[in-house]
Structure 1
């Protein structure tokens, strides 16, 4: 294969939705792209001109503006632009100018339209939010509150000396300070003020900071948009903007924050993880996931998009660790397959995830070969733990010899669980029915999955037990339209949005998949497939999917809120943090879930 094409393929594999294409299709698309180089300041196209195709940024930055000249996007590597015009009459509806030397890949119009017509992932991606050229990393539509650094703003009193202000800036490693009078925000002082007014101006460092500050500067509120930041910074040529609410300083947005925002994307994190040379480098990548979570949630992305993108990073880290393990241990004696279960298996990871995994080994393996796979499992599991995917409390990991076995043993496991569905078998089956191949020889699982689904669906007793198991997690509904919150401990008066929120729907989705022999592991995909297969009615499916969407999105919004406040994300939500409107709708969603659980339970009773 041509080296340049191989390079394009490798790049496209890190860009969504190209990463969803089969390898032969990916090669065809890579061959369709042409390479264009632009210098900073050059115009790519002007509003009203015919478009030659869809542009994809490989290197550099591009500024997209409305015909009025208003900046609507600052795009970086792996962002596309031009699709709005292509979706209409082929004429550009915006203008695009390179702001930093760039390499752009151009996909011809016919090829772009062929992909839209034939691959649902492309149609969904490029039809989503056509109001702007950039999805998922468009800071212009982000709330200012989502762009602020999570730490509290650093401030000095109006009576503090210039020396005190300089020391605070040095110690906090910041380039600006808010100036307050009591609780009231009155001004801002920056390193430029220090240089121009103190050092160059020969001012004594003992004078009050009020003598060098900018008094009553332009400010924004947390509800302002990223476009407001861009417009003010560009118009006034300033690099710091105080964020003020009710007269109090609540944050500071700087050019560095904007650069950091543009640099944090799932594609960039995937690329950084895939090229990491050490576990420490990978851990530094996964440490950026909370910021990505805040960005994706703030961008109003659907929950299944957020969790898919976050899971993609875990998948990449796992595959990189497998590669590093093989480089250290040597080639495996026989083929194997690393699989994820739990939230990673379902592609539903959030800002809080432990690891659940296993290994299936080709039946040609010998007892003498097994130490290799034990060492492989330890290397990868320890690496995942170091990257924040902590060890599973229930030991559902490949390091447990029970979950590192030849395919023939796995076949025995599944047959045994189905034949004798005691409580332990139900629990294990529930976990293992969410398996998804991550790295290795996928064919080791393909036949086993189809065989197991067929065997399980035909065993009415096993299905009944799985239904019973799915009803153990119940929505947190209390009396008088209230919530049943946790009664004591660290999370008193909170709702567990995992075990009492999303898990009841996850369990229902798994039952539907079992009954219908449906292959998807993702919960939302299972619900949609169950509707199409007639397992649940169209109205029931619609209600359940909408309820699940609301519950899952509320969970993510709460995690993002915790990150923005400087805390670690978790699954516990205080109903008091929600408005009356939000509480009412969340409770209605829980009622839908309980109703669907009751329907499943009644159907089981009718069969037994």
Structure 2
């Protein structure tokens, strides 16, 4: 059999090349070369420019990092080299033949052509590298690329008539009110109609008398989908983009008409319009299908979980509003916060509820029954909507987690001062707090104070690091994946507790060490890299590993939904190709390496 035909048959058994037709495989092999390496011969080294993707036909290849730490030992049917090839730049790896080794070399331009022409191959390599996205996809479009810059403005002292004339002149439906570049409010056509035409306000009055002061705004770092979700939930048509009090732009419904509204926005709208928890539950029942749709579209894992979490946030705020209608206005300010995956904006198709209430220090014992009832209404409603009660009772219905701000300060101070096992666990949970509804000022100082105190306490940091290492990647002794040994999920990987959670724990430690306010895991790692608490090389490795593990988890859940099953976190390695198993193991090795580094005080690998 000619060597070309033999290699074509070999690649036909290797994913993703098994997606190619026989003719395409023959053509591919004709563009490739083969090379044999003796024992100990380097295929490439750190700093080399990578020109090929290598596929192992026979033999083994050891891949190590810059510190000569083994990352993987690859056998036949595995590939390597695509990392530097697709990302560009010099290699950060060394690959050495172990024994006589034969490789098929796929040139860079050939690989790029395959990715461009064959969606299945493109999707396969996107599992390892950030997916290419449509510039017009609202899920990833930064709002600063969507907003109207330098919007029409007026001064608070300008007359209503003058403001209306500007709106008519520029054919716009709103005008922003500013004072020395400081954003003050907004006036819309609806305001003009309701307050002037129908309400009889004098057109010669100052426009500040009819403006909406302190309207809902978003920062320029927000995404287009954040705007759409806010509009759907709050039923508004204009969102000013503001940073540090300065008006940068505005996004209106007109700005969104050229973009297709994804179904997550429709779910947000329907939740916001729901009359009761049962109606919301009918909407949230569609979340698994939404997740599967987003995954099948190739949406990045962190965008999928953010969109899914947006729905939970809207459900929570709707339930809070319903509770206030039923109970009457709250006697004092309060803030509802989420922790856990909702707090980190990392919810998938499987989520329980983790939440708490921070109350104003003005509350009295007589006020507490109100907040207990509010917590019960919201928690029961969340459970109805599929966010089941927390098995550990980490909910606002637990009196311990429904307390005045001063009590919360005492909690954090005590956990930091005496980091016993319970304190470590609680601190880990509570460092992921994110405000959902209520008076957010109750949290601002608390978060900053806690991060400052905790980061200065070396004993507490050491305990938190030790606690973070209790979740470990599923690596076996003989280059394999360690599956669950017994029980309902025997021979499967737990992609939550042994997959994403170790990275979540690392991100939390990096945030604590650097006093970083980010709560989302990916954002924490990126912030740690930017602040110098994590090296560029170590951070990039960890992000790649996290992306692959989290994407694998979501793809597993999407496949279960498609098969009519309930999504879970337990994956059988047998469902993965050799290539996928190899790279998943590589990802787990990276996580383990980063755990070892932080555990020995070398948190910034590089």
- For 1:121-136, list aligned pairs within 5 A: none
Mapping for residues 50-449 of structure 1, pairs under 5 Å: 137=262, 265-449=263-447
- Select which of 578, 581, 590 maps to 1:580: 578
Matched-pair contact (CA < 8 Å) for 1:361–1:404: yes
Q: Do the aligned residues in 1 keep the contact of 2:597 with 2:603 (CA within 8 Å)?
A: no
Three-state SS of the structure 2 residue aligned to 1:439 is strand
Shift of 1:494: 0.4
Structure 1 residue aligned with 2:466: 468
Cα distance, 1:581–1:383 mapped onto 2, change above 3 Å: same
Query: Does the aligned pair in 2 maintain the 1:547–1:593 contact within 8 Å?
Result: yes
Asked if 2 retains the 8 angstrom alpha-carbon contact of 1:16 and 1:267, the reply is no
Report which structure shows greater RCO (CA 8 Å, sep ≥6). Answer: 2
**Retained in 2: the 8 A contact 1:355–1:391?**
yes
Q: 1:18·1:26 contact (CA, 8 Å) conserved in 2? A: no
**Alignment partner of 1:512 is 2:546:** no
**Unaligned segments of structure 2, at least 5 residues:** 1-137, 154-166, 174-236, 242-246
How many residues end up aligned between the 2 structures?
A: 378
> Match of 1:297, SS?
helix
Secondary structure of the residue that 1:509 maps to in structure 2? helix
Unaligned stretches of 5+ residues in structure 1? 1-14, 36-104, 112-116, 127-132, 138-264
Give me the TM-score of the superposition, normalised by structure 1: 0.59
Say whether the 8 Å CA contact 1:467–1:604 is kept in structure 2.
no
Distance 2:268 2:300 in 1: 20
**Is this contact kept in 1: 2:150–2:248, CA < 8 A?**
no
Distance (Å, rounded) in 2 between the aligned partners of 1:582 and 1:594: 18
What do residues 400-458 of structure 1 show as CA deviations (whole Å, max 9, x unaligned)? 00000000000000000000000100000000000000000000000000000000000
- The Cα shift of 1:27 comes to 12
Question: Separation in 2 of the partners of 1:490 and 1:527?
Answer: 34
Supply the distance in 1 between the matched residues of 2:142 and 2:335 (Cα, whole angstroms).
21
- How many angstroms does 1:479 deviate by? 2.0
4+ long deviations beyond 3 Å: 15-21, 24-35, 133-137
Measured in 2, the distance between the counterparts of 1:26 and 1:427 equals 46
Which of the numbers 583, 591, 606 marks the counterpart of 1:593? 591
SS across alignment from 1:284: helix
**1:603 aligned counterpart, secondary structure:** coil
Give, in whole Å, the separation in 1 of the partners of 2:171 and 2:422. 53
| TM-score where L is the length of structure 2 | 0.59
Q: In the alignment, what sits opposite 1:208?
A: none
Is the 2:354–2:390 contact (alpha carbons within 8 Å) kept by the matching residues of 1? Answer: yes
CA drift at 1:577: 0.7
What's the CA shift for 1:33?
Answer: 8.4
Residues 576-598 of structure 1, C-alpha deviations (whole Å, 9 max, x = no match): 01111111110000000000000
Residues 136 and 296 of structure 1 are in contact (CA less than 8 Å); yes or no, is this contact kept in structure 2?
Answer: no
Deviations 1:233-265 (A, max 9, x none): xxxxxxxxxxxxxxxxxxxxxxxxxxxxxxxx1
2-structure distance, mates of 1:563, 1:16: 22
Matched, 1:452 2:433: no
Change (3 A) 1:439 1:412: same
8 A contact 1:136–1:299 mirrored in 2: no
Q: Which residue of 2 aligns with 1:521?
A: 519
- 1:555 is the counterpart of 2:550: no
Judged with a 3 Å threshold, the aligned counterparts in structure 2 of structure 1 residues 106 and 528 are, in CA distance, closer, same or farther, namely closer
User: Do the aligned partners of 1:516 and 1:533 also contact (CA within 8 Å) in 2?
Assistant: yes
Helix, strand or coil at the partner of 1:316: helix
Aligned to 2:271, the other structure's residue is in SS state helix
CA–CA separation in structure 1 for the residues paired with 2:463 and 2:238: 54
Does the 8 Å contact 1:286/1:388 carry over to 2? yes
Deviations 1:2-53 (A, max 9, x none): xxxxxxxxxxxxx8689979xx999969988868xxxxxxxxxxxxxxxxxx
CA RMSD of the aligned region, Å?
A: 3.2
C-alpha separation in 2, matches of 1:277 and 1:558 = 34
Equivalent-residue separation in structure 2 for 1:557 and 1:522 (angstroms): 20
- Residue in 1 aligned with 2:205? none
2: CA distance, partners of 1:33 / 1:397:
49
CA distance 1:306–1:399, shift in 2 (3 Å) = same
